[in-house]
Amino acid sequence: MGTSGAGSIGGMSSYSPNTPTPHKPSRPTLSPLVIVLATLLGLLLVVAGFLAGRYAYSSKATPAPGASAPGGGQGQGQGGQGQGGQGQGQQPQPGETRDTLPEPPPEVLELIRKEPKREEGDPFAQGAVDAPVVIVEYSDFSCPFCAQFATKTKPEIQKLIDDGTVRFEWRDLALFPEGKTTGAAGRAAAAQDKFWEFHDLVFADHSGQGHPSYTVDQYVEFAKQAGVEDLDKFRAAIEDPALEEAVFKATDEAVMRLGLRGTPAFIINDQVVSGAQPTEYFQKVIQEQLDKVNAAK
């Protein structure tokens, strides 16, 4: 249904300041999260398989090995073509195993604990407001790795959302031009309480390659399938510049405040997860955070 946009490198989609977009966030100064995570990366154990989808927190917005960059690139990445050279993966430090998961330092915890909204009636959230575990996803509708997560891992997490264990909150992080417009369409669907139905249809349509773009008529067709009742209102909304500006604002906030440069990215209670990691990895982090909450009772 969609058409392919920029090329990709396997792992996750990342922001590059050298690619012109209709709206480019001003270059942020180093945020506390960027500085701390640069150090934390040296301590984190993630085997090469888990790093297939990692992104870089670098303030220079250099794509991580295995990340796709807007406009493609020249080097061989981990699992695909693009900038970043040959993806090697992070090597374990002495004494670490793949089962260890260091807790972020206090500066990072203070930052990420402010991210969950837990707002009743939030159209971009699923699950109980008082769920013990909250996952905040920063995502781009045009990102192939976001589609991978949405179609393969999210359905497994949905079981925990439905039983009250997990609350799931979406944030726009539209690093590609195509994601900006689809993000606006998602907000138009959300205005009629059909965001998640629209979300599932768009990602199911994704081929997993490139960055698809859609026409207004195609967005309307997605909305129709999603059960949006007032399609004329939906069409008018996606053509309203205010919705695209809202997507830009959300993206700018994620880049400036958190230093996020790639999609998908996740905050799971007190942990940051980068990329479309295997489902088992998400389940492991969720269980660890749930155990931590229960132990504190």
Is 283 domain-assigned? yes
On whether residue 225 sits in a domain, the answer given is yes
Note whether residue 64 is domain-resident.
yes
The reply to whether 151 falls in a domain is: yes
3-state helix, strand, coil in the chain (%, to 5): 40, 10, 50
Residue 1 is predicted with a pLDDT of 60
Question: Residue 7 domain-assigned?
Answer: no
4 located within any domain:
no
Structural domain including 222 reads: 12-295
Q: What is the pLDDT of residue 92?
A: 32
Backbone angles phi, psi at 268, to 5 degrees: -120, 95
Q: Report how many domains make up the chain.
A: 1
Give the list of residues 6+ apart from residue 140 with CB closer than 8 angstroms, or none.
Answer: 13, 146, 172, 173, 174, 175, 176, 179, 183, 263, 264
Exposure string over 249-262, b if 16+ CB within 10 A, otherwise e: ebbbebbeebbbbb
Q: Is residue 260 part of a domain?
A: yes
- Neighbouring CB atoms inside 10 A of 58's CB total 16
Q: How far is Cα 176 from Cα 180, in angstroms, rounded to an integer?
A: 7
The list of the chain residues with pLDDT below 50 reads 3-10, 17-30, 34-98
- Nearby residues of 224 by Cβ (< 8 Å), 6 or more positions away: 231
Side chain identity, residue 84: G
CATH number at residue 251: 3.40.30.10
Query: Measured between alpha carbons, how far is 129 from 125 in angstroms, rounded to an integer?
Result: 9
pLDDT on residue 34: 46
- pLDDT 10s digits, 245-274: 999 999 999 999 899 989 999 999 999 999
Q: Does 172 reside within a domain? A: yes
Q: What is the pLDDT at residue 208?
A: 74
